[in-house]
Structure 1
Amino acid sequence: MKKTYEIPNHFMIGTSSSAWQIEGCAGKKPGQESWAELFYQTNPHRWYDERGPQKASDFYHHYKDDIATMAKFGMNTFRFTIQWPRFMQGNEVDPDESAYYQDVINTIKAHGMKPIISLEHWEIPAKLFKEQDGWVSRKTIDAYLHYVDCALHAFHDDVDTWFAFTEPNIPIDNGYIKKIWYPFVHDPQRAYQAHFHKILATAKAVALAHQKYPNITMGAMVHMTPIYAASNDIRDVQAAYYTDLFEVRLYLDAYLKGEIPSEIFTELKKYNCLFAYGPNDLEIIHENPVDLLGIDYYFPIRVQARNTPYEGPFCSKVYYEDYVWPEREYNANRGWEIYPKAILDVGRRIQKDYGNKPWFVSENGIGIEGEDRYRNDKGYIDDDYRIDFIQRHLGYALQAKEEGCNVYGYLIWSFIDNLSAINAFKNRYGLLELDLNTYQRIPKKSLHWLQNVMQKGELSVE
């Protein structure tokens, strides 16, 4: 049976991107390298086809046409990122790059779209990694806040919705816990020190924005992986509770309640990896929760109680083993479960546990390898799987809205095929196909489908 949802007025529909994944290092000057370049330069063999961030999708030279395409196909919102090391030349604002970002903003607004800016999507300057171990060092907070102040000063009159971070946990967990990204170590003490510094930096960015730029809102985007227990057995439920504690609540409680759960301190102390913090840090976090939350959702985590002891340095796997739900849908290209209803579950949780704070889906999409096999006789990719994916996830966001959840948008990852760490262009996410030889942009079937949805102002879901 079909259910039809009206798309509310002012409900954001659009796409999200990160600067290093679409701009790459095109146009950068010496000394403006980011974490991504450092990662690639030290380990090019780890990246698919050894393709790194040299040009990425070359948004830097195509942004006018790309933004015009978004608007042409009916989108009303574009979330992009300022590359910290591109915008700042050392401690000073680079006037050329400030002018570039100003024109990006102007172009978005000229096409009747809403610009949303994320200030950091893993784009920490490489220099801060080389000199002080990145976010493990408290000094990085000061450098970050100086950059935030400069960016807000430059663009606060034209952009009213800002985010301090996008997915702050991912480069930390992958770099210091899973040991699959630069700097390739497994050191939980450094990992949780970096996590804490990003949480504190977020609170300080909120405080800075409220004090100096009262016309804007400052939020944060979290990589949301809802946790589901394999059963109602007490051991499975407990495994889910502690997994959720470290995979979700570490940031969600800090951002929405202004507190880090007490069990975090207890457990990290037990495993000798508690982070250091100053006498006023927890008070600063408590007084400065974010104004709004972005939910980057791709897949859930399903857990069961451990049957064998965990061996190795501390991480959330101490508490659980993976559980494969017999009814799961699965994207084998990424190794991720597809579970659209999680968006509704997230909305209900924020409504129940977090005072129904405002939020939106800031990233959601599907990456598929070898999309060329779906090319039709006219030369275009018929990505019906992407249409189905977006349709169902957006449907649950609209259902959450109907139920009274304070959700006000859904942004797709991404408007164009983009670079990813290690995977490069192996898995394609875009509504636009990117030809890596010519950098031509070619609409996929999903882009025309989205245009039709926006023209109708409604979404029908089976």
Structure 2
Amino acid sequence: MKELVLLVVLLLVSVGTTLEKEFNDRYHEDQQIETEEYDFYNFTLPSDFHLGVSSAAYQYEGAWDEGGKGESIWDRYIHTYPEAIADGTNGDVAADFYHKYKEDIKRVKDLGLDTFRFSIAWPRIMPTGLIDSVNQEGIDFYDDVINEVIKNGISPMVTMYHWDLPQYLQDLGGWTNEIIVDYFEDYADVLYSYYGDRVKLWLTLNEPTKGVDGYGGNVTGLGYAPNVSAAGIGTYLAGHTMLKAHARAYHLYNDKYRAFQKGRISLALETFWYEPQDSNSESDHEAALQAIEFNLGWFANPIFSKEGDYPTVMKKRIAENSYQEGYLKSRLPQFSTEEVKYIRGTADFFGLNQYTTNRATFGENGPSPSYTRDTGVTLVAPSDWPASETSEWEKIVPKGLRKVLNYIKDRYGKKWEIVITENGFIDDGEIMDSQRIVYIATYMIEMWKAMYIDGVRVVGYMIWSLLDNMEWTSGYRSRSGLFHVDFYHPDKIRTPKKSTELVKTIAKTRRIPEKYVDHVKELDQLEFHNYS
């Protein structure tokens, strides 16, 4: 039996190798992007460019047990393990968007933005997650939100799932149980039928690479909901199910709604950019590419690549590690030929969440088995790169966004339009948020360069986030909003930060101010390898 497994591993090594080697060889060429003459650029955005802000139900709404809403995995997790949250808080009230949505949507309008991305809480629509429990109060709430968004001249971009799975479904195994694919299709059907006449931009899933974290355990004991300790197994089972659920929701829309609703569907995928730890090391260049294949490629490759399926390097490494650990087959589930075809191409645009950059080198770390160990890569965030004082992981590396955008174009094809569905900065909530101003401006300039110098088809940019919010296990210590929220005041008072002035200027002029070019030039001096 072990000999058979080894043969399968060797076959996986060869499958797709030619295609990936051709791409990697081309991408390793150190082609220098021509020196930009900034004086000739005006950083103007197209008139039809989507400019907006993003949010999420659990992080914003509160009203965790109001309006007929069911319990989510985050409700159960934090109420059971309050010590899992850095400041001991929870999302029971959060920013109270549930009661303040009208004034908050007006804030989006006052900023001059044209798109508002928000998520719908599955347990608010279907308290148990099942079709027999549709909650009319929940239906009415989001109906009112969508109508309010449109009344203010804003386009709604709706995320179906932003990590708040109904607890009832988790009791059945959550995303590790493939029956959830059927239930997610039912949920999507309800959303399309009630809101598809007005919602034209849909995202099925937000950051599935993070959404599966709760099934991968945590070495400290507490991580993300639902905190299932199945590292290296539950992680991949959940991801496998999510990809199938996404595809099912996409095909449902194609078959039943697209002809008359004429909307567009994708999902929001998150990735760092990865630089080689040593820019002179070919091995580190390969490690950087392996890191992005394990991160972005995990969910992007099955949907956006010409060949479909998981990246070859993932299939190879996980199979090899599984065999060495004593398993008789890979811990990464396999798609059938029919499933590969069914999932491939199930998007109308590429949704991208991108925040920062890391360095990469080959090295084993993390417990066995685990996703971290499977990557075979050690990540290092250089201490000399500028960073948020609140969140050391978020280095301010705007060029990394340009690199990711070019990677998507080169790896998955020029045909894909890209919407940056999240990009933003975390600090401690100060009103004079100068770092956020520099962050937004410099990242947008690099986005513009990707569009107009490199030919990447970026059609939208969403700032994370409109309001300070419940930042998952960081609680309210990490602030990412354009508006400060006083979470300790009963009215959750909102105060505009200095960064709102920049956003208003960009929205009004459709142009990124040139005065931030010096910051871009300074950040460009960071040691950086040119892949493109």
Give the TM interval when normalised to the shorter protein.
over 0.9
Deviations 1:175-197, CA, capped at 9 Å, x for gaps: 41545223152421121111111
Deviations 1:24-44, CA, capped at 9 Å, x for gaps: 344535661112102212211
The change in CA–CA distance for 1:310 and 1:85 in structure 2 (over 3 A counts) is closer
Structure 2 residue 459 is matched with structure 1 residue 396: no
Structure 2 residue 203 is matched with structure 1 residue 150: no
Deviation at 1:419, TM superposition (A): 0.4
The change in CA–CA distance for 1:147 and 1:14 in structure 2 (over 3 A counts) is same
1:451 to 500, 504, 507: 504
C-alpha separation in 1, matches of 2:372 and 2:289: 11
With structure 2 as the length reference, what TM-score do the two structures score?
0.80
- Within a 5 Å distance, the mapping from 1:117-266 to structure 2 comes to 117-130=158-171, 132-173=172-213, 175-176=215-216, 178=218, 180-182=223-225, 183-214=227-258, 215-230=262-277, 231-257=279-305, 258-266=308-316
The answer to whether the Cα contact below 8 Å between 2:68 and 2:138 also exists between their aligned partners in 1 is no
The answer to whether the Cα contact below 8 Å between 1:164 and 1:202 also exists between their aligned partners in 2 is yes
Aligned AA for 1:144?
F
Deviations 1:406-460, CA, capped at 9 Å, x for gaps: 1011111110100011111101111111111131111111112211222222112
- Within a 5 Å distance, the mapping from 1:357-436 to structure 2 comes to 357-369=416-428, 371=429, 374=430, 381-403=431-453, 404-436=455-487
My pick for the range that moved more, 448-457 or 150-159, is: 448-457
The equivalent of 2:4 in structure 1 is: none
C-alpha separation in 1, matches of 2:77 and 2:64: 16
C-alpha separation in 2, matches of 1:343 and 1:243: 16
The change in CA–CA distance for 1:255 and 1:161 in structure 2 (over 3 A counts) is same
- Structure 1 gap segments, 5+ residues each: 375-380
Deviation at 1:279, TM superposition (A): 6.5
The change in CA–CA distance for 1:339 and 1:154 in structure 2 (over 3 A counts) is same
C-alpha separation in 1, matches of 2:381 and 2:335: 38
Structure of larger gyration radius: 2
Structure with greater strand share of residues: 1
C-alpha separation in 1, matches of 2:276 and 2:198: 45
The change in CA–CA distance for 1:94 and 1:147 in structure 2 (over 3 A counts) is same
Structure 2 residue 356 is matched with structure 1 residue 315: no
The equivalent of 1:378 in structure 2 is: none
- Structure 2 gap segments, 5+ residues each: 1-37, 323-330, 518-532
The answer to whether the Cα contact below 8 Å between 2:112 and 2:504 also exists between their aligned partners in 1 is yes
C-alpha separation in 2, matches of 1:310 and 1:187: 10
Q: Percent identity among equivalent residues?
A: 25
SS in structure 1 at match of 2:43: strand
SS in structure 1 at match of 2:461: strand
Aligned AA for 2:254?
H
Deviations 1:222-246, CA, capped at 9 Å, x for gaps: 0121222122423223322332221
C-alpha separation in 1, matches of 2:214 and 2:397: 23
The equivalent of 1:58 in structure 2 is: 96
Deviation at 1:312, TM superposition (A): 3.0
Deviation at 1:348, TM superposition (A): 1.4
- Within a 5 Å distance, the mapping from 1:322-341 to structure 2 comes to 322-325=379-382, 327-336=384-393, 337-341=395-399
The change in CA–CA distance for 1:73 and 1:30 in structure 2 (over 3 A counts) is closer
The change in CA–CA distance for 1:239 and 1:4 in structure 2 (over 3 A counts) is same
Deviation at 1:69, TM superposition (A): 1.2
SS in structure 1 at match of 2:398: coil
C-alpha separation in 2, matches of 1:177 and 1:26: 25
The answer to whether the Cα contact below 8 Å between 2:271 and 2:292 also exists between their aligned partners in 1 is no
With structure 1 as the length reference, what TM-score do the two structures score?
0.92
- Within a 5 Å distance, the mapping from 1:35-74 to structure 2 comes to 35-74=73-112
My pick for the range that moved more, 132-141 or 229-238, is: 229-238
The change in CA–CA distance for 1:310 and 1:166 in structure 2 (over 3 A counts) is closer
The equivalent of 1:353 in structure 2 is: 411
1:100 to 141, 146, 151: 141
The change in CA–CA distance for 1:15 and 1:282 in structure 2 (over 3 A counts) is same
C-alpha separation in 1, matches of 2:267 and 2:294: 17
What is the total number of aligned residue pairs between the two structures? 450
C-alpha separation in 2, matches of 1:47 and 1:12: 34
Aligned AA for 1:197?
T
Aligned AA for 2:190?
C
1:282 to 323, 327, 340: 340
My pick for the range that moved more, 425-434 or 222-231, is: 222-231
